[in-house]
Amino acid sequence: TTTGPNADGEGSGLRTPIVAVLGHVDHGKTSLLDKIRGSAVIEGEAGAITQHIGATAVPLDVISELAGSLIDPSDFDLPGLLFIDTPGHHSFSTLRARGGALADIAVLVVDVNDGFQPQTLEALDILKRTQTPFVVAANKIDTTPGWNPQEDAPTLRTIDAQSDRAENTLNQRLYEIIGELSENGFSADMYWRVQDFRGNIGVVPVSALTGEGVPDLLTVLMGLSQRYMKEDMEVNLSGPGAGTVLEVKEERGFGTTLDVVLYDGVVRTDDTIVVGGKNEPIVTEVRALLQPRPLAEIRTEKRFEQVEEVTAAAGVKIAAPDLDDAIAGAPVRVARGRPVEEVVAAVEAELAEIEVDTAENG
Ligand code: GDP
Ligand 1 pocket, residue 208 CB under 6 Å: yes
Per-residue pLDDT tens digits for 218-277? 999 999 999 999 999 999 999 999 999 999 999 999 999 999 999 999 999 999 999 999
Ligand 1 atom 25: the closest Cα is on which residue? 140
Q: Is the dihedral of CA 184, 186, 187, 191 positive or negative?
A: negative
- Quick one: which atom of ligand 1 is closest to the CA of 24? 3
In DSSP terms, 33 is beta-bridged to none
Our answer on whether the CB atom of 31 is closer than 6 Å to any ligand 1 atom is yes
- Distant-in-sequence contacts of 28-32, Cβ < 8 A, 24+ apart: 28/109, 28/111, 28/137, 28/139, 28/140, 28/208, 29/86, 29/109, 30/86, 31/139, 31/208, 31/209, 32/107, 32/109, 32/137, 32/139, 32/206, 32/208, 32/214
CA distance 311 to 186: 35
Ligand 1 geometric centre to CA of 35 (Å): 11
Q: Is the ipTM of this complex over 0.85?
A: yes
Question: Which residue's alpha carbon is nearest to atom 6 within ligand 1?
Answer: 28
Q: Whose CA is nearest to atom 2 of ligand 1?
A: 26
- The amino acid present at 106, given as its one-letter code, is A
Q: Which residues pair with 136 in a beta bridge?
A: 108, 203
52 is in an annotated binding site: no
CA dist., res. 288 & res. 199, Å (int): 44
Residue 346 has pLDDT above 70, yes or no: yes
Q: Which residues contact 67 (CB under 8 A, 6 or more apart)?
A: 154, 215, 216, 218, 219, 222
- For 288-327, what is each residue's pLDDT tens digit? 999 987 655 545 567 889 999 999 999 999 999 999 999 9
Indicate whether 7 pLDDT > 80.
no
Ligand 1 contacts CB of residue 352 (under 6 A) = no
345 CB near ligand 1 (under 6 Å) = no
Mutate to test the pocket of ligand 1, among 24, 25, 26 (most ligand atoms within 8 A of CB): 26
In Å, what is the CA distance from 243 to each residue of 18, 48, 148?
12, 24, 44
Q: Place 6 in a pLDDT band, splitting at 50, 70 and 90.
A: very low
By most ligand atoms within 8 Å of CB, the mutation choice from 30, 31, 147, 207 for ligand 1 is 31
For 341, other C-beta atoms within 10 Å of its C-beta total: 11
